[in-house]
Structure 1
Amino acid sequence: MPVKIRLQRHGSKKRPFYFIVVADARSPRDGKFIQKLGTYNPLTVPATIQLDRQKALDWLHKGAQPTDTVRKILSFKGVLYLKHLLRGVKLGLFDETAAMEKFQAWHSEHETQIKKKQEEHARDRRVRRAPIRNGGGE
């Protein structure tokens, strides 16, 4: 049975909200699924992603194939990087503690970048919504 990790659309028209699910590749987009891994809301800046990393990693190890969009989401959340590091552990390139240290360093840097992007977006929104005041004299 071919298994995919894909998005399942919810939400109303022009207001998408997605569940990240593991489903049989032959089932319809919004049909039956095996397990729910998280949620994805593309309307926020940056997009809000709630994901159970361990479940996603387990399914990737079992051979589930992510769709293109889900692959980008897993990459953004670091699941694919963690899988890469664990493969290095399996091959004996380094031990598991070194792999987790590398992942934690990457994760902390990634979180600071996300916070920076959120602050920039909030500042831009404040600037756009601020009333334009006439300097006078004209």
Structure 2
Amino acid sequence: MPVKMRLQRHGSKKRPFYFIVVADARAPRDGKFIQKIGTYNPLTVPATVQLDRQKALEWLHKGAQPTDTVRRILSYKGVLYLKHLLRGVKLGLFDDATAMEKFQKWHSEHEATINKRQQENRKARQAQRRPPFVRRTPAPAPEKRDDAAEA
């Protein structure tokens, strides 16, 4: 049975929200699935992804094929990098502790990049907002000069 990791659409019209699921390739897009491994909300900046790394890694080792979008999400969350590192451990290139150390280093750098992107987005949105409405008082009328009174 061919197994795929793919997105299952939820949410209303023009407001998508996705579940990341493992399903039989022959099942319909929003139909029956084997296991739910996460969620994906593309409407936030950057997109919000919640993923169970262990379950995703197990399914990849079992041979589940991710769709293009899910492959991109797995790469973003570091699952594919972790799979790559664990293959290096299996081949004897380095030990498990070194692999986890490399992954933790990558993960901390990645989190810093995401936080920086969120801060920049927040600043850009703040700059685009109009300043609050300020009521201006009318300018005082100019004083009338009486030329006859001065002479």
The residue aligned with 1:73 is: 73
SS at match of 1:15: coil
Structure 1 stretches lacking a partner, 5+ long = 134-138
**TM-score, normalised relative to structure 1:** 0.95
* Separation of aligned partners in 2, 1:12 and 1:42: 13
* Separation of aligned partners in 2, 1:103 and 1:2: 30
SS at match of 2:19: strand
Identity %: 80
Q: Which amino acid aligns with 2:74?
A: L
* Separation of aligned partners in 1, 2:106 and 2:30: 34
How do residues 104-123 of structure 1 correspond to structure 2 at under 5 angstroms?
104-123=104-123
* Separation of aligned partners in 1, 2:22 and 2:5: 4
* RMSD (CA atoms): 1.3
1:111 Cα deviation (Å)? Answer: 0.1
* Separation of aligned partners in 1, 2:130 and 2:110: 31
SS at match of 2:114: helix
The residue aligned with 2:3 is: 3
The residue aligned with 1:93 is: 93
Structure 2 stretches lacking a partner, 5+ long = 134-151
The residue aligned with 2:56 is: 56
1:130 Cα deviation (Å)? Answer: 3.2
Q: Which amino acid aligns with 1:10?
A: H
Number of corresponding residues: 134
